[in-house]
Amino acid sequence: MLPLRRKSRRWIPFAATLLGLLVVLQLLRGPQWSMLAGAATRSSGSDTSRSTNSAVSTETPANSHQFLCPSMPGIEDVLVVLKTGVTEALDKVPVHARTTFRCVPNYLVVSDYEETIEGVQLHDVLTHVQDGVKANIEDFNLYNRLKIYGRQGLVDEDATEEENGVFGMPNNPGWKLDKWKFLPMIDEALKMKPTAKWFVFMEADTHIVWPNLVHWVTQLNHQEPHYLGTETQIGEVLFAHGGSGFILSQTAMRLASMQRKTFVDEYDEYTDLEWAGDMVLGKVLKDAGVDLTFTWPLLQNARLGEIEPLTNNFYRQPWCWPVVGFHHLSPEDVEQMWKFDQDWFIKRHHKYLLHSDVFRERLLPQMTAGIHQDWDNLAGDLVEDPSVDTVVACRKFCEKDGLCRQFSFRWDEDPDNGGVRRPECRTFESPRLGVAREGTQSGWMMTRIELTSRARGYCQWPEWQ
């Protein structure tokens, strides 16, 4: 037998030198190097996701640019379409470059202006709208200026801030132009990835929980004409609320595209007459024989502070339903929710995120005892008792009602009485976190809320339908 040889270690000095060079390169290249490392991690996670339902890994340093993606078998069959506009893109697209687009391999960003923001390409989705429409309809004034002057053509009026009311924001030029994007973005999405089974449409102030979404759509048949969204109605048209996000199967996409192509002049006239682009798309889908599937509370048209996981007042109780989307989020909210998803699915190895989980983890910790100044918890039931004229009296009124779980108080001006200020106490059975609002005081009945939460318990399985 030949004697065993000790393995040579002459390679160690060379390896140490090479390792040192790599460290120096990483320091010199900074975030770009880290992004490459992150892309490599994403690719590895995608491969792993085909063979397991567990998360890819566990820990990510808090100060690292690297990230990990949860296992999502089927995400490769999804095309994500994010709709934005020139007046908001610089503020709202960058956060999606850091969050939304990290773990989805296929995405398209459509806008009214062609540009690149933090490495994300924005496509002018209005390019193929008929020239006569763009030349003769006032909604395209902003678009036509952009084509000539670029961003230098923007004026102060283009950024008109207006509360989104019953008829949207009719004085905002970007909002008026937005309704024209819904129909052409169907064709642009099909052109981008014609083999996609599912097309997920979202806006720049929306956050999608991707593992939940993939679990949801993979239970369905993409060859059937699915139109999934939060139900909304204007007149006789029932449609999916655009801001909440909506999902179309490949078959539904092709039917919508063909319907629009066949009657393009009629639908351009219809778009001009109406004010909501998501309604126009709903009309086209209905005409093509595609009915809406109601999806609330999977897709929410509310922000975090407005949702009511404990409510019993609607046709579904959200508690055991998965969360797929939130709307009306600031860029900071989107980033916080993405980090929460990272923690939930990767570090803590959960398979689903339910409304009950969001309540326990994100909402309940911010509901604390006492009276909170300059905070409106959105209690909805007005107390018709003029003697309840202080926040303390309002709290006592809530305490006497065994079903009351929160209260709010403010002094409100009475327009029918010469602007005289009057006390306004409101109570509510279903607890909500609410929003900051100067001059409003709020509080929660914490013992009742915690007892109700414990009584609902933990869900054995998610409810999907």
- The rounded distance, in Å, linking the Cα atoms of 465 and 463 is 6
Q: Which residue has the higher pLDDT, 437 or 53?
A: 437
Is the pLDDT at 32 greater than 50? The verdict is: no
Cα dihedral value 92, 94, 99, 101, nearest 10: 100
Can you read off the two tokens belonging to residue 225? Answer: 């004409």
Q: Please give the model's pTM, rounded to 2 decimal places.
A: 0.83
Kindly give the pairing relationship between strand 198-203 and strand 293-294.
unpaired
| pLDDT for residue 11 is more than 90 | no
Decide: 182 and 285 in contact? Cβ < 8 Å.
Answer: no
Domain count, the chain: 2
pLDDT band at 212 (very low <50, low <70, confident <90, very high): very high
Asked if residue 280 and residue 397 are part of one domain, the reply reads: no
Strand boundaries in 137-286, DSSP class E: 198-203, 207-208, 227-229, 231-234, 237-240, 246-249
| Side chain identity at residue 385, one-letter code | D
Average pLDDT, integer, range 375-379: 97
Residues 132 and 265 in one domain: yes
Q: Is residue 16 part of a domain?
A: no
- The Cα diameter of the chain in Å comes to 108
pLDDT at 77 over 90: yes
**SS3 call for 322:** strand
Both 94 and 202 in one domain: the answer is yes
Predicted local confidence at residue 282, as pLDDT: 98
Instruction: For residue 318, give the nearest of 368, 353, 365 by alpha carbon.
Output: 353
Question: Are 112 and 198 in a shared domain?
Answer: yes
Banded pLDDT at 129 (limits 50, 70, 90): very high
Residue 443 sits at φ, ψ, to 5 deg, of: -160, 165
Local confidence band at 415 (pLDDT 50, 70, 90 cut-offs): low
Predicted confidence band at 33 (pLDDT cuts at 50, 70, 90)? very low
User: Is residue 407 over pLDDT 80?
Assistant: yes
Domain boundary among 277, 294, 311: 294
Using pLDDT thresholds of 50, 70 and 90, give the confidence band for residue 413: confident
Q: Does residue 79 contact residue 198 with C-beta atoms inside 8 Å?
A: yes
Q: Quote the domain boundaries for residue 79.
A: 75-294
SS in 3 state form for 362-397?
A: HHHHHCCCCCEEEEECCCCEECCCCCCCCHHHHHHH
Mean model confidence pLDDT for the chain: 86
Same domain for 242 and 386? no
Q: Rg (Cα) of the chain, in Å, rounded?
A: 26
